[in-house]
Amino acid sequence: MIIKMKTKLFSILVFGILIHFSTIGSAQEGTENRPPKEKWSLVQLEGRVTDINKDTREVTVMGPKGNLVTITADDSIERFDEIALNDIISFEYYTYLLAEFRAPTAQELEEPLVLVAEGGKAPEGMDPGAGLGAVVKAVVTVEVINRPEMIVTVKGPAGNYVSIEVEDSVLIEQLHVGEVVVLTYAEAMALTLEKVK
């Protein structure tokens, strides 16, 4: 069942994290005739802690390129309470993203930000212990297209921005500023997290 999403969840999700697309499915109907793009990735990152919430176990980290990501540390991660602001930490997490290049439905326009799952299970072929955070669907708008760097920045319904690295050179040429895209993505859930000494 789709549950109305609090705007906070969008803001704590990946911000500026570089996510790679890969093609799936058949072509969508419409003038662009573009298929959706979907990607599962295991991300390994080291960065500086810029924000931490001990109650929710959420940590925001700035990566080496200035990209921000907020992750949730599972209860199984030990020594979480030792993490502090400005610590350098290394961690691993899975990301999931599905981009649909189509006009949003009337329901999606009415509720442009929804929680579609409290948490995800590992897909086939992935370690069963690999958890995901909440899965969210959002209607976003393309705001900036940086073709030389192959990066597209989208704006979500809560006014937050997400930068996405695109591997498909044909796709990035087809995209245009102001285009609406329906994104489904998973909140980052840390599999490992430790201080870098």
Q: 135-146 and 180-186: which strand pairing?
A: antiparallel
Q: Residue 60 has what pLDDT?
A: 86
In the predicted structure, residue 157 carries a pLDDT above the cut 80: yes
pLDDT digits (tens, 9 = 90+) for 171-183: 999 999 999 999 9
Question: How many CB atoms neighbour CB 31 within 10 A?
Answer: 5
Give pLDDT tens digits for 9-65. Answer: 333 333 333 333 333 333 334 435 789 998 877 788 899 999 999 898 888 888 887
Q: What is residue 176's predicted lDDT score, i.e. its pLDDT?
A: 94
**Which residues make Cβ contacts (< 8 Å) with residue 31, sequence separation at least 6?**
none
Do residues 172 and 147 touch, judged by C-beta distance below 8 A?
yes
Look at residue 61 in the predicted model and tell me its pLDDT. 86
Segment 82-109 mean pLDDT: 91
Q: pLDDT band at 105, cuts 50/70/90?
A: very high
Backbone angles phi, psi at 151, to 5 degrees: -125, 135
> In the prediction, which pLDDT does 4 show?
35
Confidence of residue 120 (pLDDT cuts 50, 70, 90): low
Count of residues for the chain? 197
Residues 179 and 158: their CA atoms lie apart, in Å, by: 17
- Residue 10, token pair as written in the block: 């969008």
Identify the DSSP state of 106. H
pLDDT at 109: 94
pLDDT of residue 145 exceeding 90: yes
CA distance 101 to 104: 9
What do you get for the CA distance between the two ends of the chain, in Å? 44
The reported pLDDT for the residue numbered 132 is: 64
Averaged pLDDT, 115-144: 69
> What integer pLDDT is reported at residue 43 of this predicted model?
80
Are the beta carbons of 112 and 157 closer than 8 angstroms? yes
